[in-house]
Amino acid sequence: MLTRAKGAREMIEFARISIGTGGAAICSQCQPQTAILHAPDDEILSKVKRVALSADGTVGPNVLLEGPEPFRHPNLPALLGGALAAGIERIALVTDAGALGVADNASGSIFAGLRHIHVPLFGSDSRSHDALTHSGTFDASCAGVARFRSAAERMGIEVLVIGVLPLCVHNLTDAAETVAVFAKLGAAAVRIIGDDTSASRPHILAACETGMVNGVWVWHEGDPTSRQGALADHRRGPIRLAEVAS
């Protein structure tokens, strides 16, 4: 699902499409959550079809559905089905994965075309994570990831888990340990988003080094051309997220 070009890491591009507003992966102590508003299905699928039509014949087309928790969207099965029908090769969701641990949601989602999940964790254990989000979500996320991977193995379908670490002043010191948790969960890579200051860079570097030790590529989203010493090589990940043109 992630490949390498000779002599370099090959980046697979995903078009990021918002399914609504509110409910994004943010620290509750940094910013209060806003009301969730789902975008109309036809608006979402119109963007999906535009991505499919603009594919250049290389790897893809691929889409990442993000924004509010997708498993709370009333028509998620229709969105997945519509993306498949449009010719999307890889469908990814940004999800806390909690719903994937319930009943047959994991196998059903894979059957419907889900292949990649991007799972945010704010800390390395239930105490640290739940303090920045909601009680019980750390354990539910871990269980959902495990169910997703085991269902895919049982079905003989290759899937991918990418960890998301929304970094802020409240979890800087836990960054490396959180990457280690992602490694134990079987994540192929971890993308760090958010805080990027002189104070945070030692912790980001420690997180990247923890990933290297555990065979997980870690990168910090930002300007890939910036040269910031030891972090310069960690500005690019195995995937590239691109905005869909209006």
Which tens digit of pLDDT belongs to each residue from 85-113? 999 999 999 999 999 999 999 999 999 99
Residue with tokens 């989602």: 109
As a whole number, the mean pLDDT across the chain is: 88
pLDDT tens by residue, 186-224: 999 999 998 778 888 899 999 999 999 999 999 988 654
Dihedral angle sign, alpha carbons of residues 18, 21, 23, 28? positive
- By the 8 A CB rule, do 98 and 117 touch? no
Minimal CA–CA distance to 3: which of 156, 89, 11? 11
Using CA atoms, how far apart are residues 108 and 6, in angstroms rounded to an integer? 36
Domains for the chain: give ranges and CATH numbers.
11-23+31-243 (3.20.20.70)
pLDDT band at 233 (very low <50, low <70, confident <90, very high): low
Most confident segment among 11-25, 48-62, 63-77: 63-77
Query: Which residue in 106, 129, 232, 117 sits closest to 163, CA to CA?
Result: 117
What the block records as the tokens of 100 is 């994937």
Residue 194, strand partner residues: 167
DSSP 101: G
Give 21's strand partners: 37
Give the distance from CA 107 to its chain's centroid: 19
Residue 230's pLDDT is 56
Q: Give whole-number Cα distances, 183 to 68, 120, 126, 188, in Å.
A: 25, 13, 16, 8
- 108-150 pLDDT per residue, tens: 999 999 999 999 999 999 999 999 987 789 999 999 999 999 9
pLDDT band at 166 (very low <50, low <70, confident <90, very high): very high
pTM to 2 decimal places: 0.90
Residue 24 has a pLDDT of 79
